[in-house]
Amino acid sequence: MNDKITVSTLKKLKKDGIKITALTAYDYPTAKILDEIGIHFILVGDSLGMAVLGYESTIPVTMDDMVRHTKAVAKAAKNAFVVADMPFMSYNISKEDALKNAARLLAEGGTQAVKLEGGVEIAETVKAIVNAGIPVVGHIGLTPQSVNQLGGYKVQGKDDKTASKLKSDAKSLEDAGICALVLECVPMDLAKEITESLSIPTIGIGAGPYCDGQILVLHDMLGLTQGHKPKFVKQYANISQIIKDAVGNYISDVQNRLFPTEEYSFANRKSDEK
C-alpha cells in the first residue's frame, strides 16, 4: 500500500467487492507492524481496558486513556485508516460533550474517525459530529458499553423484533452520515441483509462471512488474551506461549551464568600504564 486509506477508499473497497481487513492496536510498535503488513483499518478500541489495562470490561476506560493510546497508534499508521472508540459516557450526556470529546480524539489523538456504540437513539449525536467534519463509524449488535443492559455478552438480533430494531438502527445511522458500520455478534443472515441494504461498508466481528470486512481484537487472535475465547475468534498464533518460553530461557540462562557472555559484554578497559 502506498496511499493513506480514507473514507473514500473504504467505500471503494466495498463497491469493488474487496474485503476490508481490520484489527485493533493500542501502541506504536504493534500499529507499525500492522501498517507495514498492509492492514486496511486499525481500531484503537476501548477493548484496551481488558486487553491492556487489566479491567473486566470497557466501562472504566477514560477519554485520557483513549487519547494517549490513539496518539501512539496514529504516529505509526502511515497507510491504515485509524479509528478511535469514544469511551463510556463520552457522548451520551450532551451533543456538546460528544463534539468536544470527538474533537479531542482528532486534534490530540490524531485519529481519522471516531466510533460510537448505539443505534437510533444516538443518530442525532452522530449527525452533529459528522456535521462538524468528523467522520463517524457506527457500532450495533453486541455493544460492550451496554453489556449490563444487554444481560451479558450474547448474540443480538436472533428474533424478528430485535432483528428489525437492528435494521432500523443501521438505516438511521447511515442517514446520520456514518462512513462504516461495525456489526458485532449478530446472526450471519441478518448481517448479510444489513450489508446489502447499505451503501457504506460493514465490518463484522462475530457476524459471519457476508460483511464487507472483518475485525478481531489483536490480542485474541494472537493468543495473548487469558480466559474465555469467544466462538468467533480464530487464533492465528500463541504468542503467550512464545513469550513464556523466551522468558523461561532467559531466567535459566541468567541463573546458570550462561547470560551474559563476552559476546554480549563490552571489552575490558585499556590500561593507561605505559
Question: Residues 236, 238, 239, 242: is their CA dihedral positive or negative?
Answer: negative
Pick the closest to residue 186 from 160, 201, 166 (CA basis).
166
Residues 23, 24, 29, CA angle at the centre, nearest 5°? 105
Question: 154, exposed or middle or buried, with CB in 10 Å at 0-12, 13-18, 19+?
Answer: exposed
Residues 82 and 172: their CA atoms lie apart, in Å, by: 24
Rounded to an integer, what distance in angstroms lies between the CA atom of residue 212 and that of residue 195?
A: 7
Look up residue 242 and give its three cell numbers. 512464545
Catalytically annotated residue among 56, 121, 184, 263: 184
85 annotated to bind ligand = yes
Q: Helix or strand or coil: residue 248?
A: helix
Instruction: Give which of 224, 205, 207, 167 is closest to 48, Cα–Cα.
Output: 224
Q: Does residue 253 have a known ligand-binding role?
A: no
| Residue 124, marked binder | no
* Closest residue by Cα to residue 156 from 169, 173, 138: 169
Question: Residue 89: in which H helix or E strand, if any?
Answer: none
- Ordered DSSP codes for 89-106: TSSSS-HHHHHHHHHHHH
Give the span between the Cα atoms of 71 and 111, in whole angstroms: 8
245 is annotated as contributing to ligand binding: no
Q: Which amino acid is at 153?
A: Y
Q: Is 193 a catalytic residue?
A: no
How many other CB atoms are there within 10 angstroms of residue 141's CB atom? 28
The answer to the question of whether 117 is labelled as a binding residue is yes
The residues annotated as belonging to the active site are 184
* Binding residue numbers for 3-methyl-2-oxobutanoate: 46-47, 85, 115
* Binding residue numbers for Mg(2+): 46, 85, 117
